[in-house]
Structure 1
Amino acid sequence: MNDDFAPLFARLQRSAFRKRFHLGAKERQYCLDKGADTIDRHAADFIAKRLAAAYTTNDGKQTPMRGHPVFIAQHATATCCRGCLAKWHGIPAGVALSEAEQARIVSVIHCWLVQEMNGPAR
């Protein structure tokens, strides 16, 4: 894990809601089949299209709870909506995400997925 994210991940693990998210067999296989680079591109695309704008449509409801490993990771890492980004990551709503902020969010998602893939199957 990226040491920069250790405090964040420790805080997330204290949340009953956040720590209940894990990859299932289908999502794990998808990650294996597609590879990290493709999954990271998917994450970057989802962030750019669903979260990067200053004001997003259906904020708080734009990220499905299942259907893609990145969606699960977004809920686990509180990168699912602008409200969660503000609360957990200190990235204020109402301002478009910079490229650096988007890249950091993708890195957080990537690190969580690596932890999940290297941990026990659930």
Structure 2
Amino acid sequence: MMSQKYIYPSLFQEEEPQESVPGDKKEYDLTNLFERLAKSDFRSRFHLSKQDREYVMEKGLPTIRKHAEDFVAKRLAPAVIPNDGKQTPMRGHPVFLAQHATGCCCRGCFFKWHHISAGRALTKEEQEYAVAVLMAWIEKQMNKG
């Protein structure tokens, strides 16, 4: 069987398409996304509480990333989500807050903010992108004084 190379289209106009190599962790320029999210009254009202920060510090970022991967795989990635739009709690875990803050909470918001259409399962790369967005938001929150 012949090995195929895939070129994935960029998520934002100013980005150039990059060749994907299996096993590579992509770096995303999320500057434009976070600028757009900051202009949303709803999205910008989310912040990690003291308790959330303590939870992240106690568990560590690698564990929080695993939680994010799991939540994305189970709650965002499926093609059909019976309770889409209501599947992500507003509190209870730092990743839930990050999902709302970044528009990764349901497929409708994911399409609106990230231009990735609903009605089909997310690819592995799209799931990795969502996790990267969530972790970037959490890390920004952890670095705030």
TM range (shorter): over 0.9
More helix by percentage: 1
Alignment of 1:1-122 (within 5 A): 4-120=29-145
Secondary structure of the 1:56 match is: coil
| TM-score normalized by the length of structure 1 | 0.95
Alpha carbon RMSD of aligned pairs, Å?
0.9
| Cα shift readout 1:33-90 (whole Å, capped 9, x = no counterpart) | 0001000000000010111111112101000000000000000000000000110000
Deviation of the 1:8 alpha carbon: 0.2
- Which is higher, the Rg of structure 1 or of structure 2? 2
Secondary structure of the 2:92 match is: coil
Relative contact order: is structure 1 or structure 2 higher (C-alpha 8 Å, sep ≥ 6)?
1
**2:82 corresponds to which letter in structure 1?**
T
| TM-score normalized by the length of structure 2 | 0.80
- For residues 3 and 58 of structure 1, the distance between their equivalents in structure 2, rounded to whole angstroms, comes to 29
- For residues 82 and 37 of structure 2, the distance between their equivalents in structure 1, rounded to whole angstroms, comes to 25
Q: Give % identity.
A: 56
- For residues 9 and 97 of structure 1, the distance between their equivalents in structure 2, rounded to whole angstroms, comes to 22
Structure 1 unaligned blocks of 5 or more = none
Q: Which moved more, 1:50-59 or 1:60-69?
A: 50-59
Change (3 A) 1:103 1:3: closer
More strand by percentage: 2
4+ runs deviating over 2 angstroms: none
Structure 2 unaligned blocks of 5 or more = 1-26
